[in-house]
Structure 1
Amino acid sequence: MPRRTATLLASTLTLIALLCVALLWRVPYAEMSPGPTVNTLGSHGGDPVLQISGHKTYPTSGHLNMTTVRVTSADYSMNLVEAVVGWLAHDQKVVEHDTLYPKGQTAEQADQENAEEFTQSQDSAKVAALDELGIPVGSRVIVAAVVKGAPAEGELHAGDVVKAVDGRPVKVAGDVAELVTKHKAGQKVVFTVVPKGAKGDATRDVTITTAKSDDDGAARAVVGIQAGVEHTFPFKIDIKLADVGGPSAGLMFALGIVDKLTPEDLTGGKFVAGTGTIDDQGKVGPIGGIDMKTIGARQKGAEYFLTPADNCAEAAADTPSGLTLVKVKTIDDAMDALKDIREGRTSALPSCTKG
């Protein structure tokens, strides 16, 4: 066999061997890419994203799109070839696996956490939107969780409304722990609750014997529940969006609700997308995967992107052509920006800058 042919054959076989090794070599990385972007003013899967009943609603136009990031699952094992392709691609991002999924977290746990965050973001979006419109929102103390094996297991249930402890009314979640810890371990405490799902406000008393705490803090009496707050709304607001998790759609949900409840057309027919967590007070918080979300928004046709202030520098480092980043810290900032957009005052928009 001629030397040149032998060398070429050896090189080819070596390349094939290296490629096989790369395909089999698992690396501790995960991949992010642009996910679906959905108009909160429109429909998804055949159903309106925002469904409001019991209050007058108004026609809307344009887009207020929430954005998402598609990520590899917690139990997916990436090979070296996939990692290299991801590093080279503009619309993909390879990150350390533990950045997205802390060590020891299973796929089921990750899905559960995302679902819980998504539910909480919807609740806060409703509160922030109604507060923006001056519509009062009520609240009540509930049993948020019951510790397995604790004295309260089987006696109290997640979702029960706590009206009083030992006959003393509770107004905030912290009242529950304060009243329980007035007891000594082994003493009885009486909860007055409205059971979850009960019709009306019929209460019942539940007597539980306290136990001694087993954590690292000072010894105290406990019953093994976590108290929380549940908001009560003056009319029904449903957010229908399947296969989405996490808290990052809060801002866009809140703006969509405001748009549907006011005669003013917030977008003026423009295509606005965005992202950001939101709390009950309307403060907008940062999210992950901002660069993938801006790419996804622009691919869908967005002209403006409402960007959490803390994500601005990262987003501005690689902004898709034709997309204007608008910095927002609160829902008020977003409302002001939308007014500027619909009235054509784009030079007045607060912009994101690098660094």
Structure 2
Amino acid sequence: MAVLSVGVVLLVVFGVLGAAVPVPYVAQVPGPTFDTLGEVEGEPIISVEGRDRNEAEGELVLTTVGVSRAGLSLVEAVQGWFDSEVSVVPEETVYPPGRSEQETRDANRQAFLTSEEAAEAAALAQLGYPVKVAVRGLSDDSPAEGRLQEGDAIESVGGRPTPDLATLDAVLRSIPGGTTVPVAYTRLGQPGTATVTTRAADDREGSLLGVLVREQPTAPFDVDIAVEDVGGPSAGLMLTLGILDLVGDTDLTGGATVAGTGTIDANGRVGPIGGIQLKMIAAEEIGAELFLVPADNCADALAAPQPGLTLARVSDLDQAMTALEDFRAGRTPQTC
């Protein structure tokens, strides 16, 4: 009887400790999904200025992974290990050591914003728009404030063409700080000229316009992406396809629900992501018929197939477009 009592006490102690003592793991679960052709709280995820958006009947859905707070209890961790819709992973894989949860969220959000830029560049390149020097933003106290704005393509400075970043840099190096120069630009397809008094450069000869610039394909319209509370770069592929559906010449979905994931760079290369199996669960739950899988994630995707969900292997934007074309035509896309 005494032995039984001791055993019961120990079970109670271990149960209390298991429920209270945190372990260095977090739980990942299928996160919310977003139709890049649709809206969130009445606002379009992808808005277009300078031309009308195409009417879209299908869905191009980006998938996400939800993450618990740091420090699961032992009981929660064990429960997660036996749940097919939960992935229990070491805390450091989600929250790197030396970085707070808020700092991690901020870094993930910045990665998402960077993926937006890459998605727009990849989509416009796919549509054949020319690469130009475009304004990415203005610096503090910019002399171009009110004259140039984000998205402007800088065509020339002081009458000298600036087709790329190297040429723009060379032109500005030859202009003394404090010089007033005409800056020719194209904004939403319309030419314009701004008069800017340059600022002297601190670390080299010449002057500055006070703008942040990048080389990117430039179209006679502007694309804006608005998705709050999503972090990381894995939405890149689906955002790219959403842009192409809304401003291109092809209905990519044929009215179906297509989901997927994958990073993308400005050259259209698709990269791997985390949580592929959880994202597939989310896709199956919303009735997706096709799921676009980054090529390097194929092994993990095949390990946990979802009923009725066709997998298409993609390593770049061209392969994604081919997979969608095959799917619309009733053919089986290249699978994992």
Taking the aligned partners of 1:127 and 1:339, their CA distance within structure 2 comes to 22
> 34, 38, 46: which is aligned to 2:34?
38
Taking the aligned partners of 1:51 and 1:257, their CA distance within structure 2 comes to 9
Taking the aligned partners of 1:279 and 1:264, their CA distance within structure 2 comes to 22
Give secondary structure in 2 for the equivalent of 1:338: helix
Letter in 2 for 1:205: T
The structure-2 alpha-carbon separation of the partners of 1:319 and 1:126, relative to structure 1 and needing over 3 Å to count, comes to: same
> 322, 326, 330: which is aligned to 1:336?
322
- Map of 2:196 onto structure 1: 203
Shift of 1:344: 0.6
Give secondary structure in 1 for the equivalent of 2:307: coil
Taking the aligned partners of 2:23 and 2:317, their CA distance within structure 1 comes to 41
Shift of 1:248: 0.8
Shift of 1:208: 4.7
Give secondary structure in 1 for the equivalent of 2:119: helix
- Map of 1:50 onto structure 2: 46
Structure 1, unmatched stretches of 5+, are: 146-152, 183-188, 212-224
- Asked whether the equivalents of residues 127 and 137 of structure 1 are also in contact (C-alpha less than 8 Å), the reply is no
- Asked whether the equivalents of residues 29 and 278 of structure 2 are also in contact (C-alpha less than 8 Å), the reply is yes
> 234, 240, 254: which is aligned to 2:226?
240
Q: Note if 1:19 corresponds to 2:15.
A: yes
- Asked whether the equivalents of residues 30 and 96 of structure 1 are also in contact (C-alpha less than 8 Å), the reply is yes
TM-score of the two chains, using structure 1 as the length reference: 0.76
> 289, 305, 318: which is aligned to 1:303?
289
Give secondary structure in 1 for the equivalent of 2:57: coil
Q: CA RMSD in A?
A: 3.5
- Asked whether the equivalents of residues 273 and 305 of structure 1 are also in contact (C-alpha less than 8 Å), the reply is yes
Number of positions where the alignment pairs a residue of Structure 1 with one of Structure 2: 313
- Asked whether the equivalents of residues 143 and 156 of structure 1 are also in contact (C-alpha less than 8 Å), the reply is no
The structure-2 alpha-carbon separation of the partners of 1:173 and 1:31, relative to structure 1 and needing over 3 Å to count, comes to: farther
Q: Note if 1:229 corresponds to 2:222.
A: no
Letter in 2 for 1:267: T
Taking the aligned partners of 1:134 and 1:247, their CA distance within structure 2 comes to 24
- Map of 1:217 onto structure 2: none
Q: Note if 1:351 corresponds to 2:303.
A: no
The structure-2 alpha-carbon separation of the partners of 1:103 and 1:171, relative to structure 1 and needing over 3 Å to count, comes to: farther
> 89, 98, 112: which is aligned to 1:118?
112
Letter in 1 for 2:100: T
Give secondary structure in 1 for the equivalent of 2:23: coil
Give secondary structure in 1 for the equivalent of 2:228: coil
> Could you report, residue by residue, the CA deviation over 1:227-251 in whole angstroms, capped at 9, with x for unpaired residues?
7626454212122211111111111
Give secondary structure in 1 for the equivalent of 2:30: strand
Taking the aligned partners of 2:17 and 2:43, their CA distance within structure 1 comes to 47
Letter in 1 for 2:15: L
Q: Note if 1:94 corresponds to 2:83.
A: no
Taking the aligned partners of 1:20 and 1:292, their CA distance within structure 2 comes to 30
- Asked whether the equivalents of residues 313 and 335 of structure 2 are also in contact (C-alpha less than 8 Å), the reply is yes
Taking the aligned partners of 1:155 and 1:56, their CA distance within structure 2 comes to 32
Q: Note if 1:129 corresponds to 2:130.
A: no
Give secondary structure in 2 for the equivalent of 1:344: coil
Taking the aligned partners of 1:226 and 1:334, their CA distance within structure 2 comes to 35
Q: Note if 1:80 corresponds to 2:74.
A: yes
Taking the aligned partners of 1:228 and 1:70, their CA distance within structure 2 comes to 34
- Asked whether the equivalents of residues 55 and 246 of structure 2 are also in contact (C-alpha less than 8 Å), the reply is yes
Shift of 1:209: 4.3
TM-score of the two chains, using structure 2 as the length reference: 0.80
Give % identity. Answer: 41
Taking the aligned partners of 2:16 and 2:22, their CA distance within structure 1 comes to 12
> Could you report, residue by residue, the CA deviation over 1:100-124 in whole angstroms, capped at 9, with x for unpaired residues?
2221111222122112111111111
Taking the aligned partners of 2:213 and 2:243, their CA distance within structure 1 comes to 24
Letter in 1 for 2:104: A
Taking the aligned partners of 1:141 and 1:173, their CA distance within structure 2 comes to 11
Taking the aligned partners of 2:178 and 2:95, their CA distance within structure 1 comes to 38
- Map of 1:221 onto structure 2: none
Structure 2, unmatched stretches of 5+, are: 184-191, 205-209
Letter in 1 for 2:300: E
- Asked whether the equivalents of residues 131 and 215 of structure 2 are also in contact (C-alpha less than 8 Å), the reply is no
